[in-house]
Structure 1
Amino acid sequence: MPPMTQDAQSSRTLPARWVENWRAHPTRVALSCDGVSLSGEELEHRSRYFAGILTSLGVGPGDRVVWEATSSTESVSLAIAIMRLGAVLVPVSERQRTHERHTVVSDVSPRLVVSANGLDLGDLDVRQLSLDNLHDIASDECVLDHVGLDERALIVYTSGTTGTPKGAVMTHRNLSAHASSLEQAWGWTADDRLLFALPLFHVHGLVAGLFTSLSCGSSTLVQSHFETQRFLGAMRDERATMSFCVPTMLHRLILDPDVGNVANLRLLVSGSAPLSVQLFHAFEEQGSTILERYGMTETLLTLSNPLLGPRRAGTVGLTLPGVQADLPQRGEQERELRISGPTVFQGYWNRPEATAEILEDGWLSTGDIVRLDDAGYAVICGRMKELIITGGLNVYPSEVEDMLRLQEGILDAAVVGVPSEEWGEEVVAYVINDAASLDVEGIQARLASVMSSYKIPKRFVTVDELPRNDLGKLQRHLLP
């Protein structure tokens, strides 16, 4: 039988596709979390069991269920059960502070909150159970895998790098179209074995990783935390064919003596934060050409370097199948990237004004400034809200940061604009320095040979660390 087309695949929900794969390959490992594995048959049975318990608790289609996204087979089976039942999955991080979880739970008004060991939700009046408590409840008969494509499937709260987190609402159609797009673009098959150590409360690990791997019938190998030796060992011992990482992980992997294991992967993907050109080339020398891609919570993945053909350092490639991108022409001035297509979210939960600010006539304004390189590949220049205007001239922090990281003694850098009576804003660099003192004049002189003078930081602040979230993304608003 010929493989289904992307349109045919996208016309079915992910739960329907998952179950079809599990029944076609009942003994194949579908999920492994920290070495504990479930076959397709076991995962189907386990998720059905949890769905029956949720039904006994009164959870039904459309109900929101807050799920503490831990990387265990029990926890993932529960998340799958929520999706199969037609309820709406709302992942939260086990690392979140009480007030952060309080914000999410109070905003989404869930039918139920399920966590590993109980969450401190303050004074919120909401039913909460631990995973262990669920086993004390009888599993009832339930109807599974019959939810419609246009029903809500997932609400993911954005990282809140610039303000209060907002819940991005995804439908089953969004998720199915996204899985089909990656399956086609990256040649993803049931023979693949995907390894990652990404958090499951974010779309990188949950949607691009777990959900898509299950929809392709692949084996999904999840590690609850990242440790280089363990990760590279699993890459070898578990015969991984694909791996998803963030640049912070890749920085650590390249220093490990076993980094050569990456050469056995058919595909190593980097995302969630910019990948430096230097790190890209360092992995090339190890026999692995990293595929860098672009996406955001509200659109899922939309741009990618190609599976076949050149992968260009410093770029996020071309549009993925099914995606429409409003990009400048080659040679045109950079401008904001806009995205349209079946993966674009439905809006923010209970935030119509915030939705209207970025979504108009099916086109989402990403807030990212983009240009095309000589080959027509997209290059992300920076965020509009992070743009520094000094003396009437535009400075993109990421460009300056890349140059600073090349300077001897600077381990990491973050650049921001600070109000200035003379310049409007002046460029200030926060740096992690491994030397006894920082040679500011020497650094400024070297930068002057590679960039315009107005881009060079006027002040330097030495710090012990830079604020980053769980995916390594810089949190500029938390700088002192």
Structure 2
Amino acid sequence: METSLLETFLTRARQQPDWPVLDFERKRFTAGELAQRVSAFARALVHHGLKPGERVALFLENSPAFVIAYLGTWSAGGVVVLVNTQYRQVELGHILSDAEARVCVTGAEGAAELAPLQARLPALEWLVTVEPPPGPMPWPTHDFDALLASAPASAALRLPEGDALAVLGYTSGTTGRSKGAMLLHRNVLANVRAVTEAWRWTNADRLLLALPLFHTHGLMVGLHGTLYSGGSVDLRRRFVASEALAALSEDASLTMFFGVPTMYGRLVEEARRTGARVRPLRLLVSGSAPLSPQLFEDVAETFGQRILERYGMTETIMNTTNPYEGERRPGTVGLPYPGQEARVVDVRTRAPLGAGETGEIEVRGPHVFAGYWRRPDATAEAFDAEGWFRTGDLGERDADGYFRITGRARELIISGGFNVYPREVEEVLALHPSVAEVAVLGLPDPDFGEQVVAVIVPRPEAPPEAQALVDFCKDRLASFKKPRRVVVVEALPRNALGKVQKHVLRERLQG
């Protein structure tokens, strides 16, 4: 029985070396070619002194080099530290210092961003760059291709054990500094088995993948599923709506596309603008941010297919999914994957709640991470005595077992003693013809404790009046849920995957 995803991939690569696993910018990698490069990268790391358990940071955009360095770090016994390519010196300094990364794999822009941080990163000993750095670097620096070519053939490699640390995935850090979630090889393997089983993923599947690999959705769903199933992936450097739509319309080999709601919204706009029609695919998946019922219907109307929405997070990879066969309910994230559990509990008493009651979602199973890196306090706070992990997400479960996310526990607004769930208000405001986008949050209020604030991006053809939006909510929701303040902005701040950054909005409004 294999103990890691790496072992699964390498075994299949030996048995089927001609398996066309990866395409990137008109270059194809067979499994045999990819495995050879993975081994060379691993041997180079070992030759340069990397020891089991030491950390290698990947501050790198989508490319075959990312895949090779990711699997190669595992093959050398190392731990991968995933770094968002949008991060700059404050975030980089914290993550690489906290993880004590010994090596960083990056590009020219990444190297330039890292250079001023030498004094803050005493553990970082050398860099690997996939393109020439912009100038002299304060660390020894190795060219990626040259490193592979010079790797000694004699360095011994061992497959990782299931309980070995595989990945440090840093949480988005919406409150305080981000923490490193410790995912073990057995967590990774258990989850990819559950996902591929639930979605009927086979070696006949070919995925168009334009999600960033530094994130759970692109890496631990898209790439992991491909490697485990024996399928293939058309990897893109980044998402460009026109290019993705052209591929989905013209490439008959593609069977799947995974995206975030922002991507699907842009695909719908592009399809309506150009009149292009996407060929029927086996599976469209959305996640990483809430998919509105309206966008669900827009995709179904435009592409003739119903999106499968799922729910996951850095600490647990994937938690729940709408069924592959059966009803895909808009506004819900489905049921737990095979071999996993989920429930809703009262946010104060922690007692399990029944169907239709709102509380915090907790999950349990072999996919759940081992805890936060060097943060036993945060780890103890996140788990109960029976191993249930507190996700921090508010939600409810209906009578059929489908889960619905209603917001973040920390985003719950308590106004005048009443609980207000931001997503409920957002869904109402999104129905107003003058509203293009909306985010609802709570701000301090001397009378009510917190006031409900709606931040609106208006449609250009019909800018809204604040009072009209308040009245629109009052006609559809309890009075205490209506916004007491409406703020109009040109755009909502979002992270790399399109998720609205409410902590940034809150700071701006309070500032």
Per the normalisation by structure 1, the TM-score is 0.94
Matched with 2:83 is 92
Counterpart of 1:211 in 2: which secondary structure?
helix
Equivalent runs, 1:277-296 vs 2, <5 Å: 277-285=293-301, 286-296=303-313
2:62 is aligned, of 71, 76, 79, to: 71
Matched with 1:414 is 439
2:393 is aligned, of 360, 368, 391, to: 368
- Is the aligned partner of 1:343 residue 2:367? yes
Could you tell which deviates more after superposition, 361-370 or 183-192? 361-370
- Is the aligned partner of 1:256 residue 2:270? yes
Amino acid at match of 1:158: T
Q: Is the 8 A contact 1:37 1:73 kept in 2?
A: no
- The superposition leaves residues 42-84 of structure 1 with CA deviations (integer Å, 9 ceiling, x where unpaired) of 1011111111211221113211111113211123212111112
Could you tell which deviates more after superposition, 111-120 or 399-408? 111-120
Amino acid at match of 1:237: D
1:57 is aligned, of 32, 44, 48, to: 48
Gaps (5+ residues) in structure 2? 132-142, 345-351
Q: What RMSD in Å do the two structures reach over aligned CA positions? A: 1.8
Counterpart of 2:312 in 1: which secondary structure?
strand
Amino acid at match of 1:128: W
Give the deviation of 1:259 after TM superposition: 7.6
- Structure 1 pair 303–166 and aligned structure 2 pair: CA distance change class (3 A): same
Counterpart of 2:225 in 1: which secondary structure?
helix
Give the deviation of 1:227 after TM superposition: 1.0
Equivalent runs, 1:366-445 vs 2, <5 Å: 366-435=391-460, 437-445=463-471
2:254 is aligned, of 219, 240, 254, to: 240
Give the deviation of 1:143 after TM superposition: 3.3
Structure 2: how far apart are the matches of 1:269 and 1:419?
37
* Paired positions, count: 471
Structure 2: how far apart are the matches of 1:260 and 1:455?
41
Counterpart of 1:225 in 2: which secondary structure?
coil
Counterpart of 2:113 in 1: which secondary structure?
coil
Structure 2: how far apart are the matches of 1:72 and 1:291?
27
Structure 2: how far apart are the matches of 1:163 and 1:425?
21
Counterpart of 2:270 in 1: which secondary structure?
coil
Matched with 1:154 is 167
Matched with 1:314 is 331
- Structure 1 pair 398–34 and aligned structure 2 pair: CA distance change class (3 A): farther
- The superposition leaves residues 286-312 of structure 1 with CA deviations (integer Å, 9 ceiling, x where unpaired) of 311100001111111010000011111
Gaps (5+ residues) in structure 1? 1-7
Give the deviation of 1:318 after TM superposition: 0.5
- Structure 1 pair 136–42 and aligned structure 2 pair: CA distance change class (3 A): closer
Could you tell which deviates more after superposition, 246-255 or 438-447? 438-447
Matched with 2:113 is 120
Matched with 1:459 is 485
| Percent of residue pairs identical | 40
Matched with 2:287 is 271
Counterpart of 1:168 in 2: which secondary structure?
strand
- Is the aligned partner of 1:48 residue 2:15? no
1:28 is aligned, of 6, 14, 19, to: 19
Could you tell which deviates more after superposition, 183-192 or 427-436? 427-436
Matched with 2:347 is none
Give the deviation of 1:136 after TM superposition: 4.0
Per the normalisation by structure 2, the TM-score is 0.88
Structure 2: how far apart are the matches of 1:372 and 1:79?
37
Q: Is the 8 A contact 1:400 1:415 kept in 2?
A: yes
Amino acid at match of 2:67: V
Equivalent runs, 1:198-213 vs 2, <5 Å: 198-213=211-226
Matched with 1:229 is 242
Could you tell which deviates more after superposition, 61-70 or 324-333? 324-333
